[in-house]
Amino acid sequence: MLYFVKTPQVIKRIFANLTWDVPTDEKVLYLTFDDGPTTEITHWVLSELDKHKAKATFFCIGKNVINHPSIFQDIIKKGHAIGNHTHNHLNGWKKTSNVYIENINKAQQTIATEIEKNPQVFPQSKISCQKYLIKNLFRPPYGKIKNSVAKKLLKKGYKIIMWDVLSGDFDQSLTREKCLNNVLNNASKGSIVVFHDSVKAFDNLKFVLPKVLDHFSEKGFVFNVIE
């Protein structure tokens, strides 16, 4: 399995219309979690984040929001940001543009509908759902998206969020120590870091996440949502 743990600057320059990090001189990290919400795992993640008063961005799969609405509501109640990860975790290189965009739209509607059910977010049913979704954040599964599709999404107002550091928690060939070092050795001010609140990633995640939160907290970092 080949992938960059640290996204090379040349890739960031070539695809400069995508968001890879958040330039800043402040000690801020942007932790992100893909593929949820997932039974038990997402709640564990939320609990670990709470211990450090950390906020994160959850890129949710539409069908998982439908299957686990109460977990999704818990993400919202704790003040984390929500992003779109397609409805069925589609590979953007293997689907037609129309099919892919329709799947994104389906996920966005699912997410919006579920958010609107939350009285904490909509105390008077007056607040804009799009405001809460924070600029229509979208992350393509596998990081694979056609340039033509990216242009259409950006034109529609989406902000396409990639990453600076890939933890590799999904990679079952990695030792958990290697996964941890992927983050500790590569994350810096403004880094967007990818984790997964999924069954496949959980063995690595449950070892890595507490240590990442401890390590960077001790160094004076805070953890914010992507805006």
pLDDT tens digits for 98-153? Answer: 999 999 999 999 998 888 786 665 554 444 444 444 458 999 999 999 999 999 99
Confirm whether pTM is higher than 0.85.
Answer: yes
In contact, 194 and 32? CB cutoff 8 Å? yes
The verdict on residue 4 lying in a domain is no
The verdict on residue 1 lying in a domain is no
Number of domains the chain is built from:
1
Q: Which pLDDT does position 14 carry in this prediction?
A: 97
Please name the residue that has the structure tokens 């994350």. Answer: 187
Question: Helix or strand or coil: residue 199?
Answer: coil
221 to 27, 142, 164, 215, 227: CA distances (angstroms): 5, 28, 16, 9, 18
**CATH code of the domain in which 64 resides:** 3.20.20.370
In contact, 37 and 75? CB cutoff 8 Å? yes
Contact partners, residue 23, CB within 8 Å, separation at least 6: 190
Q: Which pLDDT does position 123 carry in this prediction?
A: 52
In contact, 29 and 221? CB cutoff 8 Å? yes
Q: Which pLDDT does position 2 carry in this prediction?
A: 84
Per the structure, the complete domain to which residue 61 belongs is given by 9-223
Residue 31 to residue 16: CA distance in whole angstroms: 21
The verdict on residue 80 lying in a domain is yes
Q: Read off the amino acid at residue 27.
A: K
Residue 160's closest CA among 15, 13, 3?
Answer: 15
The verdict on residue 3 lying in a domain is no
Alpha helices in the chain (DSSP H): 9-14, 41-51, 62-67, 69-77, 97-115, 129-132, 147-155, 176-184, 202-218
The verdict on residue 139 lying in a domain is yes
Please name the residue that has the structure tokens 């590799």. Answer: 168
Task: Tell me the average pLDDT of the chain.
Answer: 93
Q: Which pLDDT does position 120 carry in this prediction?
A: 63
Q: Which pLDDT does position 155 carry in this prediction?
A: 96
- Mean pLDDT of successive 10-residue segments in the chain (227 residues)? 93 97 98 97 98 97 97 91 97 97 96 80 49 73 97 96 98 97 98 98 98 98 95
The verdict on residue 2 lying in a domain is no
Residue 40's closest CA among 78, 76, 81, 68?
Answer: 68
Q: Which pLDDT does position 117 carry in this prediction?
A: 80
